Every structure is written in C-alpha cells, then in structure tokens.
Amino acid sequence: MTSPPELWVVPLGTMAYARALELQRAAARARIAGEIAQDLLLLVEHPPVVTLGRSSRDAHLLASPALLAARGVEVFEVERGGDVTFHGPGQLVGYPIVDLKRHKQDLHWYLRQVEEALIRGLANYGIEGGRNPGYTGVWTQGRKIASIGVHARDWVTWHGFALNVSTDLAFFDLIVPCGISGVTMTSIERETGRPAPMEGVREAIAGAFGEVFALAPQTPPAAVEALTALDRAG
C-alpha cells in the first residue's frame, strides 16, 4: 500500500505576528514553487494583536489606538478574507499552507474542511463543535470558539484559524469579533472548566487535520530546516 502524503506540522511556539506573517508568506511562495514538497501546518501563539481582513469595517474596531497601545495590542491589515479578529496568548493559531491542486480546487470546500478538522479536534475535549449557517468558523452551544480567515494564490493557501484554548476573552471586547454583532466568544477552558495544555491541543488539531485532508502528520527535520531557512532569509 502507498503511504499517504505527509502534513508537515511545525510548532513555532510564541512568535510576533509580523514575523509569523512573513514566514507563512515565504512558506506559501516555496510551496507554490515546489521548493517544499508537502503541505504544512504552522502552529503558533502570538502576543496580543488585532488583525483586519479584507472585509473589515472601521466600526468593528471598538478601541482607540491609544487604548490598544495601553493594552499592548498591535494592529495589522492583512490579505486574508473576513473581518476583524484577535490573536493572543492561550490561543492556538494555525496556518495551513495547503496546495489545493492536490486536494480540491475550491475555497468553499477548503473552509468547510478546516471547520471539520477543528470540530473533530474539539471532540477530544468533549466539546460538540458545529457550524453557524451563513458564517465561517466553529461554534459550540451558540458561542464562537474558533475563527477562520484564509487567502490563496495559485491554489496554495495561507492564513488560517484561531482556536481559543485559554485565551483572555476580555480582549474580544476591543472589537466586534469577525464583524458579528452580539457574538459571544468562548474557549476550550471556558467550556470544560478545566485546564487544556496547549501541547495536547496542538496534537489533537494536527491529528484531525491529517484525517480530514488524508495526510500523515509528521514533524521531520526537513520541515524544521526548511522553515528555519525561510525565517532566516526573511
């Protein structure tokens, strides 16, 4: 039997958003050029940052620049789809660098697959995740636990998802999350009432991505070396 293609899972630890943004862009360029032979899943935590997607409206950023600065929150305008969102400590951010030419050349299908991977990963914690018709992301009991915003060129994706694990949910008061008025954000720890170590969440989500995309999750030295080289070049 032929082994399935690999999913190179690379935990980046805690990394500044600007650095991670350039790294994932470089990884996407390398994937498009064929310099990286496998799909990637970069997993990271960021210091507090608000990102504004292509659909963002000024009114959805509720805090003034002065208040954001006082809270230590950076702001970036980026090319991903979607509205405004927050990243910060205790949140697992994933950047899948996936060549859809090897899967299905359909971004709507891809978004549903990312949602499915998160839903399966959450099941490991006894959380019943689901979809909210008309919105992208993952919800549980009417509360939003994961946000998704992606971009693609030549059918290679970057940007991705943000899953709240032990996130300080008060940061979401600075914005209208994903532009959805009245939304309540939640986290794995809020839903379960117990700690959820980040390492375990990373493993659960990586495994679920492998299942959904029919890939074998691996962290080979070649993956780490490739990302290290791209990071240095940036």
- Does any domain span residue 1? no
Nearest to 46 by CA among 69, 20, 71: 20
pTM equals 0.95
Is the C-alpha dihedral spanning 155, 211, 42, 177 positive or negative? positive
Dihedral, CA atoms, 192, 193, 198, 202, nearest 10 degrees? 0
The order of strands in the sheet holding 143-153 is 138-140, 143-153, 156-164, 91-97, 39-45, 6-14, 216-218
- Does any domain span residue 96? yes
- Does any domain span residue 95? yes
- Does any domain span residue 34? yes
Report which residue type is found at 144.
Answer: K
Helix (H) or strand (E) holding 207: helix 198-213
CA-to-CA distance for 169 and 171, rounded, in angstroms? 5
- Does any domain span residue 46? yes
What's residue 116's pLDDT? 98
- Percent helix, strand and coil across the chain, each rounded to 5? 40, 30, 35
Number of domain units in the chain: 1
The whole domain housing 53 covers: 6-233
- Residue 178 among the catalytic residues: yes
- Does any domain span residue 31? yes
- Does any domain span residue 52? yes
- Does any domain span residue 119? yes
CATH code of the domain in which 118 resides: 3.30.930.10
Question: Which residues are bridge partners to 95 per DSSP?
Answer: 42
Catalytic residue among 178, 196, 223, 226: 178
| pLDDT averaged over 10-residue windows placed end to end, the chain, 234 residues | 84 95 94 94 97 85 91 90 92 98 97 98 98 94 96 96 97 89 94 97 98 95 86 78
